[in-house]
Chains A and B, each alone.
Chain A
């Protein structure tokens, strides 16, 4: 398996533009997580899905952020409009039920810079 695949790896955009981050989880994993990582706040959970259904979106900062999982092999995180404070590394992770043994498998992240 190729692991969790995220695209793009880097994104530079201007304030006010729409940004879409993409994630392909590991086949057979029924949980998908979106995290944001900054130096100051570390890894913060934004939202997670179970069997394509959003379970907890309490970490989504505000209405500018939205996430979808239309099928088991694809998820998107959209920011509209983007702001400089959204600059961070965004990680997608997937897992099967059974923490902690299963752990999360993280993608390599998308480094977002909003100027």
Chain B
């Protein structure tokens, strides 16, 4: 079993819809949770991160963590065609360890 599981999609939604992207994990040692966005033929770029259970907002993006269920989500409100990309979750244990474990990514397309 992989440490981090992510539905690969693809996911297509109309412009303006709310998008929900999710990951589950098995390693209880993970302390922080990150979301990266990857455009086609580019490297991933950091979108946002959070440490603890609960929600964190950044503009149209909300990251949610439920440590008891080992489940994290990224919500995108008022989705735009420019949000079309692959979204990867990533996690680290934070014990002086700079290594991240990534999910496989979900390919998202926003239809104008």
A: which residues have CB within 8 A of B?
A: 4, 31, 33, 35, 39, 41-43, 45, 48, 50, 56, 91, 93, 95, 97, 99-101, 103-109
Contact = CB atoms under 8 A, between A and B. Distances in A.
A93 B33 CA distance: 18
Q: Which of A56, A104, A107 has the most CB of B within 10 A?
A: A104
A53 B104 CA distance: 28
Interface of B: 6, 8, 32-34, 41-46, 49, 51, 88, 92, 94, 98-105
A33 B101 CA distance: 12
A50 B43 contact: no
Contacts of A91: 43-44
A107 B43 CA distance: 6
Contact of B44 (A43, A48, A99): A43
A63 B42 CA distance: 28
A99 B100 contact: yes
Contacts of A105: 43, 45
28 contacts: A4-B43, A35-B102, A42-B6, A42-B102, A42-B105, A43-B44, A43-B102, A43-B104, A43-B105, A45-B99, A45-B100, A48-B98, A48-B99, A91-B43, A93-B43, A95-B98, A99-B32, A99-B94, A100-B33, A100-B49, A100-B51, A103-B34, A103-B49, A104-B44, A106-B43, A106-B45, A108-B41, A109-B43
A56 to B, nearest CB: 6
